[in-house]
A = this chain, B = another copy of it.
């Protein structure tokens, strides 16, 4: 049996809420791999404890207190990621799962110390912003999905989605990483697959892949 904790729910809500600050139970269930019923249950508890706003059949949102807690979980997660990558030397595509466990098992003092050790970075190894100790979010650079590039465009990788380690391993394998240059050679209309160049090598990538890599277009 799984044992996803309240902290996981809060972090996932924070990460996937829409521009109105709301999220549907369905999405939480999917992200945490639990049933919808489990989500309903947990959201009731979180609301009771003042971390979420909830009305039956309506969207879920974080209260101020929930937002603060969740942001801190995001901080813990991303600081572990960058620490594991930079100090411990774990490849950037392998840090997510480890961080997922460690984030629940460390004191704020430890997190702050790790933050200091890596020099208070503003982004984690996937390009996601790291909230400061005071809860301030660094501005995310402007980016578009790789799938939105036009033929002939050159771009620089700014962020990648970290939802799946298999995906990360694959893109790491073809040389995609932060700050790497990607050029779009061809795009096929029938399946939206693309031919790209990375470090002089050409690769065919699917639309799905391209939707999860984010770039800044070079002028």
List residues of A whose CB falls within 8 A of some B CB.
Answer: 84, 87-90, 98, 101-102, 104-107, 110, 113-114, 117
Which B residues lie within 8 Å of A117 (CB)?
88-89
Give Cα A113 to B88, complex, Å: 7
Which B residues lie within 8 Å of A84 (CB)?
110
Q: How far is the CB of A11 from chain B (nearest CB, A)?
A: 15
Cβ 8 A contact of A113, one of B89, B101, B114: B89
Cβ 8 A contact of A98, one of B89, B90, B107: B107
Q: How far is the CB of A165 from chain B (nearest CB, A)?
A: 12
Give Cα A84 to B107, complex, Å: 12
Give Cα A105 to B76, complex, Å: 14
Q: Other CB < 8 Å A-B pairs besides A88-B110, A88-B117, A101-B106, 13 of them?
A: A88-B113, A88-B114, A89-B113, A89-B117, A90-B110, A90-B113, A98-B106, A98-B110, A101-B105, A102-B102, A102-B105, A102-B106, A105-B105
Which B residues lie within 8 Å of A113 (CB)?
88-90
Give Cα A88 to B113, complex, Å: 7
The closest CB in chain B to the CB of A83 belongs to B88
Give Cα A113 to B83, complex, Å: 13
Give Cα A107 to B104, complex, Å: 15
Give Cα A102 to B104, complex, Å: 9
Give Cα A106 to B99, complex, Å: 9
